[in-house]
């Protein structure tokens, strides 16, 4: 029996007690990697909503991915005796949209082994969640800015005698007050207008969604007694947790801090107050990430060394944006590297007495079918222009 135990121990440690320390270290680091991976994915999935709302493809063994967009064709009566060789208009017209990946997006942290030993909480798990949040935030921001771009773009099909519909921009309210964006009645009217426009442009009703800022979303909930937007089956707890609104005009509503909103992300305090809706007051101590501007992230403007191949616009180009309504075809996204994790080990960990934990992601987004995108704007009668 003792001999069997020794044999088992030898198998466990790859050959004997002299390798026990090495095997324990290796096993521990493998466990760290697995735990961290799980926490990063949870953090990413819980904080990104855009990933499943658009058309996404995986990019492998290439620098770009082509999306084929087909326009409409017409029907015509057959002339007796005439050969059928396809419609006289040479339809259907086809356009190609090529989407490239932006540079590698990373979020990392160094975990000092002594800190980890002394900490009374799961240090790596907490760090992993924050890395996941950071990747998800950047992912959503690029997707939503691509939706805004789509709403300002003409159709990619430019064949002769074919005019395919492009994107749409709808004004919330009819005044110069930016606070119109928080008026529940005016928001509801904009939603029905957007639904009608999408119908008129032949965009499918399935998969239509809207993304609003948190204050817009909760303004709709507070006025549920008059706007009849609350699902009758979701009263009580669902209403109190802010999950009562399901849709307006068949458009499912989401809230996000990552949409381009009056030149910033998700929140814009102040603004011009209207006669009935006051300006949004700054609650104080909000932190810098809340008011972060939608800075340029293209090849011509590279803040902090960031570089993107696709055009996502600058802060000034979103000065009046206040919400997005779109369907899945509006934007295409390619992922060359999904959310992944890498952790140092071995000699590197010994030298530095700790590990570098890295989350990474490589993706790019671009307008696909502009007809499926609607941008809401307020505070001006001038529609936001296409990106310069």
Q: What is the pLDDT of residues 304-347, one digit of tens each?
A: 555 678 889 888 899 999 999 999 999 999 999 888 888 887 88
From edge to edge, which strands make up the β-sheet containing 168-171? 168-171, 373-377, 321-326, 209-212, 251-255, 247-248
Q: Read off the pLDDT band of 25 (50, 70, 90).
A: low
Q: What is the pLDDT of residue 199?
A: 96
Burial class (CB in 10 A: 0-12, 13-18, 19+), 42: middle
- Is 265 part of a structural domain of the chain? yes
Q: What is the pLDDT of residue 18?
A: 45
**How far is it, in rounded angstroms, from Cα 213 to Cα 313?**
19
Residues spanned by the domain of 248: 26-69+98-377
Predicted confidence (pLDDT) at residue 87 exceeds the cutoff of 60: yes
CB atoms within 10 A of CB 84: 7
- Is 87 part of a structural domain of the chain? no
Predicted confidence (pLDDT) at residue 47 exceeds the cutoff of 80: no
Cβ 361 vs Cβ 337: under 8 Å: yes
Question: Can you tell me the mean pLDDT for 19-37?
Answer: 51
Q: What is the pLDDT of residue 43?
A: 64
Cα distance from N-terminal residue to C-terminal residue, the chain: 78
Question: Can you tell me the mean pLDDT for 158-169?
Answer: 84
Average per-residue pLDDT in the chain?
Answer: 78
- Is 13 part of a structural domain of the chain? no
Name, in order, each residue with C-beta under 8 angstroms of 284's C-beta and a sequence gap of 6 or more: none
Cβ 215 vs Cβ 267: under 8 Å: yes
- Is 195 part of a structural domain of the chain? yes
Using CA atoms, how far residue 66 sits from 58, 69, 101, 255, 361, in Å, is 11, 10, 12, 31, 20
Predicted confidence (pLDDT) at residue 117 exceeds the cutoff of 90: no
Q: What is the pLDDT of residue 4?
A: 43
**How far is it, in rounded angstroms, from Cα 239 to Cα 230?**
8
- Is 372 part of a structural domain of the chain? yes
Predicted confidence (pLDDT) at residue 69 exceeds the cutoff of 90: no
Q: Read off the pLDDT band of 299 (50, 70, 90).
A: very low
- Is 11 part of a structural domain of the chain? no
Nearest to 313 by CA among 135, 96, 152: 152
For the chain, what percent of residues have pLDDT higher than 90?
27
Tally the domains of the chain: 1
Predicted confidence (pLDDT) at residue 221 exceeds the cutoff of 50: yes
Nearest-10 crossing angle of helices 184-200, 214-222: 110
To which H or E segment does residue 77 belong? none
Give the CA diameter of the chain: 96
**How far is it, in rounded angstroms, from Cα 322 to Cα 268?**
10
**How far is it, in rounded angstroms, from Cα 43 to Cα 27?**
24
CATH no. for residue 336? Answer: 3.90.1690
- Is 1 part of a structural domain of the chain? no
Name, in order, each residue with C-beta under 8 angstroms of 51's C-beta and a sequence gap of 6 or more: 139, 140, 143, 333
- Is 345 part of a structural domain of the chain? yes
Q: Specify the higher pLDDT residue, 245 or 10.
A: 245
Cβ 286 vs Cβ 231: under 8 Å: no
């Amino acid at each position: 029996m003792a001999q069997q135990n020794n044999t088992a121990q030898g198998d466990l440690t790859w050959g004997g007690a002299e390798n026990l320390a090495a095997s324990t270290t290796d096993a521990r680091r493998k466990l760290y990697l697995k735990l961290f991976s799980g926490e990063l994915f949870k953090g990413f999935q819980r904080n990104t909503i855009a990933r499943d709302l658009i058309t996404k493809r995986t990019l492998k063994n290439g620098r770009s991915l082509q999306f084929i967009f087909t326009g409409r064709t017409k029907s015509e009566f057959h002339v007796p005796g005439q050969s059928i060789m396809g419609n006289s208009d040479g339809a259907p017209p086809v356009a190609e949209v090529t989407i490239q990946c932006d540079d590698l997006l990373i979020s990392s942290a160094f975990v000092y082994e002594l800190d980890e030993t002394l900490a009374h909480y799961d240090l790596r798990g907490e760090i992993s969640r924050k890395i996941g949040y950071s990747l998800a935030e950047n992912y959503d921001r690029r997707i939503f800015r691509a939706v805004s771009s789509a709403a300002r773009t003409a159709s990619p099909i430019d064949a002769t005698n074919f005019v395919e519909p492009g994107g749409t921009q709808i004004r919330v309210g009819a005044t110069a007050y930016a606070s119109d964006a928080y008026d529940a009645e005016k928001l509801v009217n904009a939603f029905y207008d957007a639904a009608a426009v999408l119908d008129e442009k032949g965009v499918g009703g399935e998969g239509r969604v809207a993304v609003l800022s948190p204050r817009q979303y909760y303004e709709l909930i507070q006025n549920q007694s008059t706007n009849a937007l609350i699902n009758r089956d979701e009263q009580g707890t669902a209403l109190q947790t802010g999950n009562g609104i399901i849709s307006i005009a068949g458009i499912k509503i989401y809230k996000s801090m990552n949409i381009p909103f009056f030149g910033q992300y998700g929140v814009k305090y102040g603004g011009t107050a209207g006669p009935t809706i006051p300006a949004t007051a700054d609650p104080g101590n909000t932190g810098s990430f809340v008011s972060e501007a939608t800075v340029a992230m293209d090849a011509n403007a590279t803040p902090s060394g960031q570089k993107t191949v696709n055009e996502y616009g600058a802060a000034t180009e979103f000065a009046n944006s206040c919400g997005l309504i779109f369907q899945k075809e509006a934007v295409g996204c390619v992922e060359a590297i999904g959310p992944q994790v890498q952790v140092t080990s071995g000699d590197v960990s010994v030298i530095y007495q700790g590990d570098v934990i890295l989350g990474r992601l490589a993706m790019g987004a671009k307008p696909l079918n502009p007809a499926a995108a609607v941008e809401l704007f307020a505070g001006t009668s001038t529609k936001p222009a296409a990106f310069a």
